[in-house]
A and B are shown apart, each in its own frame.
Chain A
Amino acid sequence: MTWNIAKKEIVSNLLSYKFFIVILLMVILVFTSFFIMHRDFKERLSDYHLIKPGPEDPIAVNPPNPLSIFVKGLDEAMARSYEISRIGIDVKAGKQSGNIIFSYFSAPDFMYLTRVILSLVALLFGFDQISREREKGTLKLMLSNPVSRAKVLIGKWIGNFLCLAVPFIFVTLIGFAFMNLDPGVSFESFGLVRFGLILLVSLIYISLFLSLGMLISAFSKRTAASIVILLFIWAIVVFIIPNLGTLVARQIVDVPSVRALSEKRDQIWTREVLLGIQDRNWSDHYNRISQENNMLEEDYRNKFNRLIRFSKNINRISPVASYIYAVSDIAGTGIGEEGSLKREVIRYKNQIFPDVIEQKENFPNFSYRYRSLSQVFTRGTLFDTAWLLFFNILFFALSYLGMVRYDVR
């Protein structure tokens, strides 16, 4: 019986205007986004080939990550070049473009589409499931059959989920296959598995909004009411909480701004050079610079890590933040991965720093290995995925509660 209801949902969706609009939106957006982000990636790749260090240079550069086509995240920051010099780590090639409009709006990558647009689409599939059928009178008819309300609800969920997920997976996989036609972008097994996981987490995320839609629908008599409530919940959860949470965390954890840190470093450097000119005791001064900078930076890093942990936990009130953390960390462009790259660069710096001060040549090469999936999952992604699942189940259970007590008249 459940399957019958699911089938009925699928058929009625396939014929609806809503389905037509949604498919149109998905096709246009996914393909445009893949095309544009692919080109962006290729440009960054050619920049990388320009700045790629020679075999014995004391320079650390991480090539752009092909998965940044789908989840751009912090990849632009991660593909900068870190030159180790006597005054520490010198960052080059930070600024990508002089076009300021880039800084106004976030990148339209796959994660953005799913996070903002597909979540909205999923709500549209869920918002009228129960109230609309009541308005039309079909709910009465359905329940007059020997079928339990739980089965009706499950059948509806499955039917709508399939209508949403199948075209979504289909369009995404076609887009992904096109990306693979380009020999310059190689995903290898690293990318394939991770892309699969990103898709899976995205599906969990989308179905969460479907459950939310059904939940509100099961508690409201009229569809007009449920859409209003849902859209506002959506706007708060997607736009307000994650962004406001970061600001709240900054109020509580006192972290100096990046600008303050860099000013301080410049002051230390110029001071020691001035003193060095007077007493000519250069190696002392270089050591002083690196010592003081290390202390300053370590203090900053500790505070900053606390800020990140704290804001992570605040933001997780909204499942959207969990989705961002999970997907960007799986792709290797998230905050966790960026921190790990920075730790590696610092380790590299500490390893070769004595030689740099003595102006030796022939340095070992830097190469960064992305954290393995098991590391990524144990460091928070597993929690985030479980958190998404938890919301999903919670919303579904609550909507069951609403459905059981629903007055179908």
Chain B
Amino acid sequence: MVSSIIKKEILNNVFSLRFSVTFILLLIVIPVMFFILGDDYVRRVDEYSLRQSELENYLKNYAHFNRIGGVLYPSQPPIPMHALVRGLSAEVNMEEFHNDPLPIMFPLIDLTLIITVFLGLAALLFSYDSVAGEKEDGTLKLILSNRISRSKVILGKVVGGVITLLIPFIASLLLGMLFILAHPRISWSGEDWGALGLIVFGAVLYISLFYCLGLFISSRHHTSSSSIMTALFVWVLFVLVIPNLSPYAASLVVKTPSNIKIAREVDRLTDTERDQLGIRLSNERRQEMIKKYSFLAEALTEEERDRRIAEDPEYKQAYTELRQEIQQAWDEANQIQSKKVEDLRRDLELKESAQTRLSRSLSMISPLSNLVYLVTDLSSTGMKNREYFDRLRTAWYSSFGEYRERKIDEMRRQNPAVDTWNTPVDMSDRPAFLYREEPLADRFKNTLVYFMILVVFNLVFFTAAFLSFVRYDVR
């Protein structure tokens, strides 16, 4: 009996206007988007290789260790998944004078947006009248006059509805995939296809949870016109409001010190305050030394002092000790101040990560954010990838540091008087920075929590729909 309800739902939907509109729309939008994003990906690949070759040219003639950090640093290459998902890959570059304001005004569009906005909306449009509308048509009475339990009816409705929604989505996605397969310059690895599979699974969960939500709302209303209003109201809150408000709301609760203030404070600590401390400490040491060797108190000009060092071995001994003591005093001052800076930075980092965690948790009230994090993390375009990239970068920096020391030693051996910092060096044998995406298994592990939450949403909305439908007055 459930199967005939499912069949009826599917047929009913397939012949409806909303189905054909959704189908046509997705069939146009998804392939067009793939086409444009795919081309953009290729353009970015070209640009990236151009940048790398310009860097190589530069390094051939002008590589020197003093300012190498300013030109040679790890940068994220475009990944094939960019033909589908953009995530946080937009380059706004606020640190540069010539930043790019367009992504701020017009955020990039990708598969995530299609799923979260279009498919969620479509799911509500398919389900808002499936109870209240059938009641208005009078067909609900007829169905229930058969020997069938209400739980089977609602189950059949959910399964049938989700299947009809998946038809246009999967069909248009396949069409888009054909483009990616046929494109000579976009080659996806097995892991990419695996990630896409998981993304589609997440999308199915997202669609079905909105379908259940629509059913729930529909079975709380007796006219479809009021049901659509509530459905859209809830949709607006979930999709358009909660995610956008969450970081701002979190910053109300967990306050972070302003970055500019911290930068100022760091400057002060390592500059004026360090000097004051250093001078104080070295004066103390000097006084102690003078107690030990009273002749050090004499005020001498530099020439007199040098003469005396040459003539008087006792003075020389005392003077070397004094210099060592003063050096130690400055080292100590540097150490104390850098400890303070470190504490300050750690405190900032702790507070910022606390705020990030809170904003993320707040935004996860909305299914949209869960799906966004899920898709971006699976496609290595999200925050997990940033962390992963940071780890790769740190590893590269340490291996480059070792390389530098080795190279400097080599230079010194050849010519002890060489200025090791400002002499051009051949760095073609440097350790290369290789970006490889995080293994899919790890990415999947990171996104498990989002999958779980989407499943929980499904269960909650389905149960709510079920409970309301069981008590629904069909008259």
Residues of A within 8 A of B (CB): 17-18, 21, 24-25, 29, 32, 36-37, 39-40, 43, 46-47, 50-51, 73-74, 76-77, 80, 82, 88-89, 91-108, 112, 116-117, 120, 124, 128, 132, 223-225, 227-229, 231-232, 235-236, 239-240, 242-248, 250-251, 256-264, 266-267, 269-271, 273-274, 277, 297, 300-301, 304, 307-308, 311, 315, 321, 324, 328, 334-335, 338, 342, 345
CB-CB nearest 7 A-B residue pairs? A94-B94, A98-B352, A101-B359, A243-B109, A108-B244, A270-B67, A228-B18
CA distance A274 to B65 in the complex (A): 10
B260 pairs with A36, CB closer than 8 A: no
Q: Is B241 an interface residue (CB 8 A)?
A: yes
Q: A74-B104, A104-B372, A263-B55 are in contact. Are A39 and B260 (CB under 8 A)?
A: no
B51 pairs with A263, CB closer than 8 A: yes
Q: In the assembled complex, which residues on chain B have CB atoms less than 8 Å from the CB atom of A80?
A: 94
Q: In the assembled complex, which residues on chain A have CB atoms less than 8 Å from the CB atom of B424?
A: 274
A235 pairs with B117, CB closer than 8 A: yes
B117: min CB distance to chain A, Å: 6
| Most chain A beta-carbon contacts within 10 A, residue among B108, B229, B246 | B229
A91 pairs with B349, CB closer than 8 A: no
A43 pairs with B258, CB closer than 8 A: yes
B94 pairs with A77, CB closer than 8 A: yes
Query: Among B29-37, B294-302, B320-328, B401-409, which stretch is in contact with chain A?
Result: B29-37
Closest Cβ neighbor of A328 among chain B residues:
B105
Partner of B37, one of A37, A231, A247, A328: A247
CA distance A223 to B18 in the complex (A): 12
B58 pairs with A100, CB closer than 8 A: no
A61: min CB distance to chain B, Å: 11
Residues of B within 8 A of A (CB): 17-18, 21-22, 25, 29, 32-33, 36-37, 39-40, 43-44, 47, 50-51, 54-55, 58, 61-62, 64, 66-68, 70-71, 75, 88, 91, 93-109, 113, 117-118, 121, 125, 129, 133, 224-226, 228-230, 232-233, 236, 240-241, 243-252, 256, 258-261, 263-264, 348-349, 352-353, 355-356, 359-360, 363, 369, 372, 383, 386, 419, 422, 424
B423: min CB distance to chain A, Å: 9
CA distance A65 to B113 in the complex (A): 31
| Most chain B beta-carbon contacts within 10 A, residue among A51, A117, A235, A236 | A235
B106: min CB distance to chain A, Å: 5
CA distance A267 to B69 in the complex (A): 11
Q: In the assembled complex, which residues on chain B have CB atoms less than 8 Å from the CB atom of A335?
A: 101-102, 105
Q: In the assembled complex, which residues on chain A have CB atoms less than 8 Å from the CB atom of B97?
A: 82, 88-89, 91, 342, 345
A243 pairs with B229, CB closer than 8 A: no
Partner of A338, one of B95, B101, B252: B101
Contacts beyond the supplied A36-B249, A101-B250: 18 A-B pairs with Cβ under 8 Å:
A39-B252, A40-B248, A74-B105, A97-B355, A98-B256, A98-B356, A99-B359, A101-B246, A101-B363, A102-B359, A120-B232, A232-B25, A242-B106, A257-B100, A262-B93, A266-B70, A267-B62, A301-B98
A97 pairs with B245, CB closer than 8 A: no
B105 pairs with A100, CB closer than 8 A: no
What are 16 A-B interface contacts by the 8 Å CB criterion? A18-B226, A18-B229, A43-B258, A94-B94, A94-B95, A116-B240, A117-B240, A120-B236, A124-B229, A224-B224, A258-B98, A262-B93, A266-B70, A269-B67, A274-B66, A321-B106
